Amino acid sequence: MEASNSFVVVANRLPVDMTVHPDGSYSISPSPGGLVTGLSPVLEQHRGCWVGWPGTVDVAPEPFRTDTGVLLHPVKLTSSDFEGFYEGFSNATLWPLFHDLIVQPVYNTDWWQAFREVNLKFAEAVAQVSAPNATVWVQDYQLLLVPGILRQLRPDLKIGFFLHIPFPSPDLFRQLPWREEIVRGMLGADLVGFHLIQNAENFLALTKQVAGTAGSHTGQPDELEVHGTAKVRELGAYIRTPDARNVGVGAFPISIDVSAFGKASKSSVLNLLNDLGNPETTFLGVDRLDYTKGILQRLLAFEQLLEAGALDPEKAVLLQVATPSRERIDHYRVSRSQVEEAVGRINGRFGRMGHPVVHYLHRSLPKSELQILYSAADVMLVTPFKDGMNLVAKEYVANHRDGNGALVLSEFAGAAAELSGAYLCNPFDLESVKRQMVAAVYDLRQNPASARARMLANSEQVYSHDVNVWANSFLDCLKEAGENAKA
């Protein structure tokens, strides 16, 4: 077993999903989600080792290097792990709880046992591949217990933890029957990072409330230093743990590799618009098909604007690309059928033969095709009820560095804290979504200088705070936090 890796990332998913063919061979394709988008360029730069699940149950190939030099170390999950750990505790307990109860979380002791066992499995894999004194960066809510387990297994490691989804208010988190174990697990890290200052403050407040987790705090949230306009709050506060370590807590808003999201070629955009019947206004949504994303709400807003005559079905189209996600979980099934029913109804009401008003794809697209969609879209619709960051919003912005286009963005997406030029909406209030869609279209047509200034403000932010700023600020802080912990 290779134990020579000085920089190891562990995440539930590897950046690729495996498909096993009947003859036993397998192929790989990019895996979904913002975590992979954010971390892939970082791992490539560091030529790091990525420990994670290969996306198919009961199999795990030998470790291998990708074309871009990242060493992938697959961890095998059984189908029972997948049900209890992934579908159950991660995505039917933690996911809804951390997204402010958009649906009701399920608290199930068997799932909790599976979560503990699988976290142990990931931690053991990391312990085996990590060189002495290596830096290990643990990712996201599926692995909340890994820092604590690793601390026991390998006290020599420098351990960072980053949460890619929101961290809820202590009042919500305290519902969790296993809250103390989870907080203790997170505090196994030397540095715990969140996207937003609010998330970090929620965590700090929680550790004061949950018994037996933290001894004391040094530094109050409101005393903490804010670095730069991205509000990268480095080492915001320390929590002193009962085993006399100092754990750093801070906010580090994730971003994208801007070089991967430039404008598509003019001809490919013109071809697409031609296929769409050269609409005057093209709206676009790109999401995993998740009930947190507010896909139905944007469809309803579009439908109501058509109904009211505020949009002309001959001149406006909505493109919605939805990546299949967590498809066996009840709320995801319901969400998909609601979205697809709405697409059918809207096209039935407002389309004509050969000219639908909503174009809907339920699949993943290659980045090159997404780029064409981003470039063609006049108005990007990003309307989650709650979202840790939302990288799709930043990808659209990066694609529109020329100042064209407009972004309608939910105020409940983490990205809203940075993208001051977005048309902010409240997805719980359809009138607000409609108002901002209309305002964006109005500005593009009647007030282009203002629309342009808004997009330029957005793109300046994204280009000056790309994924390297995120990774470097976290890793620099982790270095400092590790040193501090030893002192």
How far, in Å, CA of 107 to CA of 94, rounded?
9
Among 239, 389, 407, 455, binds ligand ADP (CB under 6 A): 389
Contacts of ligand ADP in 348-377 (CB under 6 A): 364-365, 370
**Shortest approach of ligand F6P to residue 11 CB, angstroms?**
7
Asked if 164 touches ligand F6P (CB under 6 A), the answer is: yes
Using CB under 6 A, which of the segments 108-116, 118-126, 139-147, 384-392 binds ligand ADP?
384-392
Which residue in this structure is represented by tokens 């407009």? 406
Comparing CB distances to ligand ADP, the nearer of 150 and 286 is 286
Asked if 168 touches ligand F6P (CB under 6 A), the answer is: no
Tokens of 284: 């676009």
Residue 140 binding target from ligand ADP, ligand F6P, none, CB below 5 to 8 Å by type: ligand F6P
Binding mask 104-143 for ligand ADP (x = CB under 6 A): ----------------------------------------
Binding mask 246-285 for ligand F6P (x = CB under 6 A): ----------------------------------------
| Beta carbons of 37 and 73 less than 8 angstroms apart | no
How far, in Å, CA of 419 to CA of 421, rounded?
5
Asked if 415 touches ligand ADP (CB under 6 A), the answer is: no
Residues 6+ apart with CB under 8 A from 325: 32, 288, 289, 290, 332
Amino acid letter, residue 443: D
Asked if 88 touches ligand F6P (CB under 6 A), the answer is: no
Sign of the torsion formed by the C-alpha atoms of 221, 226, 231 and 237:
negative
Asked if 439 touches ligand ADP (CB under 6 A), the answer is: no
Residue 326 binding target from ligand F6P, ligand ADP, none, CB below 5 to 8 Å by type: ligand F6P
Of the candidates 17, 42, 13, the residue with the CA atom closest to the CA atom of residue 30:
17
Asked if 373 touches ligand F6P (CB under 6 A), the answer is: no
Among 42, 224, 321, 471, binds ligand ADP (CB under 6 A): 321
Amino acid letter, residue 278: N
CB atoms within 10 A of CB 348: 9
Asked if 140 touches ligand F6P (CB under 6 A), the answer is: yes
Among 14, 16, 33, 305, binds ligand ADP (CB under 6 A): 33
**Shortest approach of ligand F6P to residue 386 CB, angstroms?**
12
Among 195, 288, 331, 434, binds ligand ADP (CB under 6 A): 288
Alpha helices in 230-366 (DSSP H): 266-275, 295-307, 330-350
Task: Give kind and range of the element (H or E) at residue 293.
Answer: none
How far, in Å, CA of 254 to CA of 399, rounded?
17
Of the candidates 440, 451, 438, the residue with the CA atom closest to the CA atom of residue 301:
438
How far, in Å, CA of 486 to CA of 248, rounded?
13
Comparing CB distances to ligand F6P, the nearer of 165 and 397 is 165
| Beta carbons of 73 and 97 less than 8 angstroms apart | no
Using CB under 6 A, which of the segments 123-131, 174-182, 285-293, 454-462 binds ligand ADP?
285-293
How far, in Å, CA of 301 to CA of 319, rounded?
14
Contacts of ligand F6P in 10-39 (CB under 6 A): 12-13, 32-36
How far, in Å, CA of 441 to CA of 330, rounded?
36
| # chain residues binding ligand F6P, by CB under 6 A | 13
| # chain residues binding ligand ADP, by CB under 6 A | 17
Rg (CA), the chain: 22
Sign of the torsion formed by the C-alpha atoms of 150, 152, 153 and 155:
positive
Burial of 353 (0-12, 13-18, 19+ CB in 10 A): exposed
**Shortest approach of ligand ADP to residue 386 CB, angstroms?**
10
Which residue in this structure is represented by tokens 């200088």? 449
| Beta carbons of 363 and 323 less than 8 angstroms apart | yes
Residue 473 binding target from ligand ADP, ligand F6P, none, CB below 5 to 8 Å by type: none
Asked if 392 touches ligand ADP (CB under 6 A), the answer is: yes
Contacts of ligand F6P in 328-367 (CB under 6 A): none
Residues that bind ligand ADP (CB under 6 A): 32-34, 37, 286-288, 321, 323, 364-365, 370, 389-392, 395
The contact set with ligand F6P (CB under 6 A) reads: 12-13, 32-36, 140, 164-165, 288, 325-326
